[in-house]
Structure 1
Amino acid sequence: MPRVLQSPDASARDGILAGAPYILEDHRKNENLLPIIRDQLKTAIRNNRFIDHYFSRQSVDVDKIGRLEDVPYIPVQMFKHFDLRTCPEGEVAKILQSSGTTGGSPSRIPLDKSTTLNQIKALKSILEDYLGKNRKIFLVIDHEGINKPEMAFSARTAGVRGLSIYAKKTFYLLREENGTLTLNMPVIRDLIENYAHEDVYAFGFTYIIWTVFYELLKKEGIRFSFDKFVLFHGGGWKKMKDLAVSKETFSATIAGLFGAVPENILDFYGMAEQTGIIFVDCPHGNKHVPAFSQVIIRDPFTLEPCEPGKPGLIEVMSILADSYYDQAVLTEDLGMLVGVDDCPCGRKGRYFRFVARVEKAEIRGCGDTFRELH
């Protein structure tokens, strides 16, 4: 069998994924990412007529892109309306669907084997930085049915599967009965009686943890007491704001449920279109950008990059995907760049904070540009 040689961008990407995620200063990271992304853009243009036309209409010469801020971004809602696949159709192993909370229709993200593997490596790298190398007891604050093979592969499913990388044993803390979520009491009793002294980490969606899990435990008067506990949670902050629940209140309250400290209740920002990358809070409340990604905050009116301290639209960049366009995605979320390379936690690179969702965000004209094919 002939030997298959890696492309230069794949080899460079493997090197980045093999390294620690938060040790590179921002300018070094940008130097590493730009040539990889340029090569990926050329592949995307060759393999996808929508992307080809999008770049053509903007008169983009990929070889002349001199900084990450100049890479053409795709508004996230384009995943709802267009096929952004950049690999042969026969290589798509599964389709990830977003929750579809914005505008009703879900995004569809095609994943091939190499993209999935890259996403697993990236997430493992991030989790290792926060959890260490040893496997731990994993608690899922959801029901087991979301992870069944016959279920649609959703962002909720991807979250559970992704964060299970470090699990030596997994427990689901909720059950679904006739469409209603209830406590999985046999599991909860087992945890309280037999696992208090284990090293434990957990995952759940913020809104489900607060409105379902917390309320059920409060009603039953149940609390855990783990020696070592870390919770990763994300999503649902618009609904939490509607409930007048702050991030600080959430962290303190949920920490009390598990016998943990609020600093170990880690909010993260992530999205289905960038699976494999989560931006996790450090002890100082800042979300850090790993070596295989970049974040740009753009002014909502001019779309120019914002200086630290000024809120704007969050753009997320990645080198993980071979099967779809994830090199530059403009979200419908507001964030604020806090600083670069100087967070007190010691992690290098850019760090930011999530501010809010944007109601009915639309980057006008992009959909038309995609539709007007040659």
Structure 2
Amino acid sequence: MNLSHLLNQRTSSFPHENQEAMLLDGLKRLTEHHRSLCSGYRNILQATNYTQSKCHTLEEIPFIPVNLFKNLELHSIRCPEDIVTILASSSTSGQKPSQIFLDKETSKRQSQGLTQSLKPVIGDKRLPMLIIDTPSSIKTKPLTARGAGVLGLMRFGHSYCFALDDDHNLNLDLLEHFLEEHAKQPFLIFGFTFMAWMYFLQKCPPHTNLKNGILIHSGGWKKMQEQSVSPDEFKSAFFSKTNLSKCYNFYGMVEQIGSIYLEGSDGILYPPVFSDVIIRDPFTLVPLPPGEEGLIQLLSLLPLSYPGHSILTSDMGILRQGVHGRGIEVTRRAPKAEVRGCSDTHVFGIRK
């Protein structure tokens, strides 16, 4: 089965063991693809004595640490002119950012992956969209992660309304007009978690009606924790003040953009059908069973233009068995890990 077929599968169309077998086949193909086109990755496989014939499980797919993208230019693009976008994640002072090289095909796959991931919660149709951000967020050059996130989600909406002005003040007139037009039908809301909490929820009038809204949000949990606001308290506060009940957090990163782990009804973050997750002991790197905290390894069929199909992150998490199958709880950054979040990511090069 080819990679395109794998990407278009639905979770409900086959049992878990079949999904795992197809993921293994696709990831092994990607490993060979990147071995043939990326010299740096080829050297890594050689140094680790990886042999495809001895790879029989997802846990045996070779992985590279996420910070390696800060030190090496790793891509599997034959011609430089085929690079259409370079994504970079900012880091602490003095640290070099990651560089993620995208071609048209990988960008297309990422778009398809995002669509497939969000379809269960927003459906097949584009919805009126309330954006908890400023109009200038999508106009800055280079484009920030906020802007990239907004633009990525705007493909699922129409009749856009930016709820904040450029000074981050809630524009009550625009909000009221949007809700008068669209509040009686399903509508999409997108914003980064901290901004949705600080600049929107804390400022909107009492009894604001978001009953038919679907809030998609991510990032900024470090700031939320500093204010002692848990995910459950975040949801509860939105429901109490706005009657919003459909609230979905997601986990993702620039090194595997397009592969998002969307929150289920039980609060667990679930991988899309073209992805999977492994938790490894931070000292031995041995895979851990459900319930034990370790480093998060992310697997994805999306990256064709760079060897990001199997990466070991700097985040700690726990495997959980939930109502929708196996997912993860992200607990914290690994000790001594460089602190960075999705809001530090920006696009610094786009070729026409």
1:338 CA drift (Å): 0.8
SS of the aligned residue for 1:301 comes to coil
Give TM-score scaled by structure 2 length.
Answer: 0.89
Q: Does 1:259 align with 2:205?
A: no
Counting aligned pairs with the same residue, the percent is 31
2: CA distance, partners of 1:105 / 1:238: 22
Q: Given residue 226 of structure 1, which amino acid in structure 2 is its aligned partner?
A: L
- CA displacement at 1:105 relative to structure 2: 4.1
Verify: 1:352 aligned to 2:328, yes or no: yes
Q: What residue is the counterpart of 1:244 in the other structure?
A: 228
Structure 1 residues 75-102: Cα deviation after superposition (integer angstroms, max 9, x where no partner): 1111222111111222110112224369
Asked if 2 retains the 8 angstrom alpha-carbon contact of 1:336 and 1:352, the reply is yes
Q: Distance in 2 between matches of 1:99 and 1:213?
A: 26
Aligned to 2:102: 111
**Cα separation, 2, equivalents of 1:303 and 1:232:** 33
Q: Is 1:306 the counterpart of 2:280 in the alignment?
A: no
CA RMSD in angstroms comes to 2.1
Letter paired with 2:279: I
Which runs of 5 or more residues in structure 1 are unaligned?
Answer: 1-10, 363-374
CA contact (8 A) 1:96 1:154 kept: no
How many pairs were matched up? 337
8 Å CA contact 1:79–1:109 kept in 2: the answer is yes
Distance 1:39 1:124 in 2: 23
2:199 equivalent among 202, 212, 216: 212
Structure 1: distance between partners of 2:224 and 2:210: 26
SS of match in other structure, 1:174: coil
SS, match of residue 146 in structure 2: helix
| Aligned twin of 2:343 | none
Judged with a 3 Å threshold, the aligned counterparts in structure 2 of structure 1 residues 254 and 107 are, in CA distance, closer, same or farther, namely: farther
| Residues 183-239 of structure 1, C-alpha deviations (whole Å, 9 max, x = no match) | 23442131233222121121111122223333333xxx3552034111111112222
Match of 1:187 among 146, 153, 174: 174
Give the whole-Å Cα distance in 2 for the aligned partners of 1:282 and 1:101.
32
CA spacing shift, 1:237–1:109, aligned 2, 3 Å: same
d(CA) in 2 for partners of 1:211 and 1:231? 15
1:31 aligns with 2:21: yes
Q: Secondary structure at the match of 1:39?
A: helix
Deviation (angstroms), 1:32: 0.4
The match for 2:337 is 361
Scaled by the length of structure 1, the TM-score of the pair is 0.84
Cα separation, partners in 2 of 1:192 and 1:36, compared to 1, 3 Å: closer
Shift of 1:15: 1.3
Question: 1:68 and 1:155 mapped to 2: Cα distance?
Answer: 31
Q: Which residue number in structure 1 is paired with residue 124 of structure 2?
A: 133
2:184 aligns to what? 197
| Distance in 2 between residues matched to 1:358 and 1:256, nearest whole Å | 34
Residue 337 of structure 1 deviates from its aligned partner by 0.6
Once the two structures are superposed, the pairs formed by residues 1-374 of structure 1 within 5 Å of their partners are 12-21=2-11, 23-88=13-78, 89-100=80-91, 105-148=96-139, 151-176=141-166, 180-217=167-204, 221=205, 223-261=207-245, 264-339=246-321, 343-344=322-323, 347-348=324-325, 350-361=326-337
Once residues 76 and 159 of structure 1 are traced to their aligned partners in structure 2, the CA distance between those partners, rounded to angstroms, is 20
What secondary structure sits across from 2:151 in the alignment?
helix
Partners of 1:23 and 1:295 lie apart in 2 by: 20
Deviations along 1:148-186, whole A, 9 cap, x unmatched? 3x632443333222222321322211122xxx4222344
* Residue aligned with 1:335, SS: strand
Return the letter of the residue paired with 1:192.
Answer: L
Q: Deviations over 1:335-368 (max 9, x none)?
A: 11112xxx33xx34x2121111224338xxxxxx
Residue 369 of structure 1 corresponds to which residue in structure 2?
none
> For residue 316 of structure 1, what is the amino acid of its counterpart?
L
